[in-house]
C-alpha cells in the first residue's frame, strides 16, 4: 500500500530569527510494506513537539551540533526530526503492533518510518489526553523536573525566579516550585501571560519584562531579600540581572538561552565577581541527563495531575502546514504553554 506523506524541511541554513519562508512543505509517496526483520516501525504522527532548540540545529554551526545526538545539525531539504506522539500503522519490530500509541523521535511529517536505534516507546497509559505525552508528561515536563529538583536543590521557603515562565518548561517549573513550598516569581512577555501566571498557575507574583527598562532594579524590587534559585530559560540580560540579585550559595539552572538563539550578538556577561564571592552555582543541563529518573518524574507528575494540583498548559496548532508559523512564533512569544502541532485526528 502506498501513502502520501507531507513533510517539512528547511530550505537553507537559518542564522537569525526564523521566518515561515525559511521552510518548505514537501510531498512524497511512501510504502506501508515493511521489510521483515528490519525492525522498522511505521508511525502515523498525531502530535509534534515544537521546540526552540531546533533553531540551533538549523544553523551552519552551533555548540549543540557536537554535544547532543538530539541536537545534531539539520540538512536543508531533509525532513526535520523531533519528539512527538503517534499511532503504529505497520511494524516489523517485536513488541510493537498496528494500533499501538507511541511517543518518541518521529518527524515534522505525517508519517515516519522509525528505524532501529531511534527512541520509540509505547505509551504506558491512556488516562490523559495524548498531547500531555508531548508536553507535561514528555520532555518539557522531564526538563522542568530534572532541572528544578536536581540542579536547583530547592529548600522549603526559598525564593525562586523563573524566566519564560508561561512557556512549556517555565510554567511547570513554577508550579513544581510552588507545590514544593517555595516563593515563586515568573516573568513573561505579555500582560495576559502575567495574569495567567498569577491567577491560574498560582505564582506569588509575575511581571512583564518587556515593560521594564532596568532588569537589575526590577529584580531587586521583586526580590528585596534576594533570589535563591534562578531557573533560566532566556539567558542574555536577564541572566546578568539575576546573577546580581542572587543570594549567597544561590543556584542557577541554565535550561536554555532563547534570547541568544536568534541573535549571535546577544551574549550574557554576568558579573563573575558576584559568582565568586556569593559562591553561586551556574549549571547547564539537558533533559536527557535525567532520563534515568523518568519513572520518578512520571509518578510525581501524574499524581499532581490526578489531584488537579498541576495544570497542563498547552498551545496546539492544527495541520502540518502550520508547523513553520508555530515554530517561528516561539521567537515572538506567540505561544502560551507547550507549543505543538496536531497533524492528524486521534
When the beta carbons of 167 and 324 are compared against ligand NAP, the nearer one is 167
| CA-based nearest residue to 138, from 327, 297, 334, 320 | 297
| Neighbour tally for 80: CB within 10 Å | 20
Name, in order, each residue with C-beta under 8 angstroms of 278's C-beta and a sequence gap of 6 or more: 246, 247, 248, 249, 250
Considering beta carbons, is residue 24 or 289 the nearer one to ligand NAP? 289
Residues in the chain: 346
The answer to whether residues 151 and 283 touch, using CB atoms and an 8 Å cutoff, is: yes
Which residue number places its CB atom closest to ligand NAP? 167
* Shortest Cβ 156–ligand NAP spacing (Å): 26
How would you classify the pairing of strands 246-254 and 281-284? parallel
Residues of this chain that bind ligand NAP (CB under 6 A)? 51-53, 140, 143, 164, 166-170, 188-190, 193, 233-234, 255-259, 285-287, 330-331, 333, 335, 339
Nearer to ligand NAP, 5 or 245 (CB): 245
Q: Which is nearer to ligand NAP, 28 or 211 (CB)?
A: 211
Closest approach of ligand NAP to the CB of residue 94, in Å: 31
Question: Closer to ligand NAP at the Cβ: 111 or 207?
Answer: 207
Q: What is the largest CA-CA distance in the chain?
A: 67
List CB contacts of 179: < 8 A, sequence separation 6 or more. 304, 309, 310
Distance separating alpha carbons of residues 231 and 220, to the nearest angstrom: 17
Amino acid at each position: 500500500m502506498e501513502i502520501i506523506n507531507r513533510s517539512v524541511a528547511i530550505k537553507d541554513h537559518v542564522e537569525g530569527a526564523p521566518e515561515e519562508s525559511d521552510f518548505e512543505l514537501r510531498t512524497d509517496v511512501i510504502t506501508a510494506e515493511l521489510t521483515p526483520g528490519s525492525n522498522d516501525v511505521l508511525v502515523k504522527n498525531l502530535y509534534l513537539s515544537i521546540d526552540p532548540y531546533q533553531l540551533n540545529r538549523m544553523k551552519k554551526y552551533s555548540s549543540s551540533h557536537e554535544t547532543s545526538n538530539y541536537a545534531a545539525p539539520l540538512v536543508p531539504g531533509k525532513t526535520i526530526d523531533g519528539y512527538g506522539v503517534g499511532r503504529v500503522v505497520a511494524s516489523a519490530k517485536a513488541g510493537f503492533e498496528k494500533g499501538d500509541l507511541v511517543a518518541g523521535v518521529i518527524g515534522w511529517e505525517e508519517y515516519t518510518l522509525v528505524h532501529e536505534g531511534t527512541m520509540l516507546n509505547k505509551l504506558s497509559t491512556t488516562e490523559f489526553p495524548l498531547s500531555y505525552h508531548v508536553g507535561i508528561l514528555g520532555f518539557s515536563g522531564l526538563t522542568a523536573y530534572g532541572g528544578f529538583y536536581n540542579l536547583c536543590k530547592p529548600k522549603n521557603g526559598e525564593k525562586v525566579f523563573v524566566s519564560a515562565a508561561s512557556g512549556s518548561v517555565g510554567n511547570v517549573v513554577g508550579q513544581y516550585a510552588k507545590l514544593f513550598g517555595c516563593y515563586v516569581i515568573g516573568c513573561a512577555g505579555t500582560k495576559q501571560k502575567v495574569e495567567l501566571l498569577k491567577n491560574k498557575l498560582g505564582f506569588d507574583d509575575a511581571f512583564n519584562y518587556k515593560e521594564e527598562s532596568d532588569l537589575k532594579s526590577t529584580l531587586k524590587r521583586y526580590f528585596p531579600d534576594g533570589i535563591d534559585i534562578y531557573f533560566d530559560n532566556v539567558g542574555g540580560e536577564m541572566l546578568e540581572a539575576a546573577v546580581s540579585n542572587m543570594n549567597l550559595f544561590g543556584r542557577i539552572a541554565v535550561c536554555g538561552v532563547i534570547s541568544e538563539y536568534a541573535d549571535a550578538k546577544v551574549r550574557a556577561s554576568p558579573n563573575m565577581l558576584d559568582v565568586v564571592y556569593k559562591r553561586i552555582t551556574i549549571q547547564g543541563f539537558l533533559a536527557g541527563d535525567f532520563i534515568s529518573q523518568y519513572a520518578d518524574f512520571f509518578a510525581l507528575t501524574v499524581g499532581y495531575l490526578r489531584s488537579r494540583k498541576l495544570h497542563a498548559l498547552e498551545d496546539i496548532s492544527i495541520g502540518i502546514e502550520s508547523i513553520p508559523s508555530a515554530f517561528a512564533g516561539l521567537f515572538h512569544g506567540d505561544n502560551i504553554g507547550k507549543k505543538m502541532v496536531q497533524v492528524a485526528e486521534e
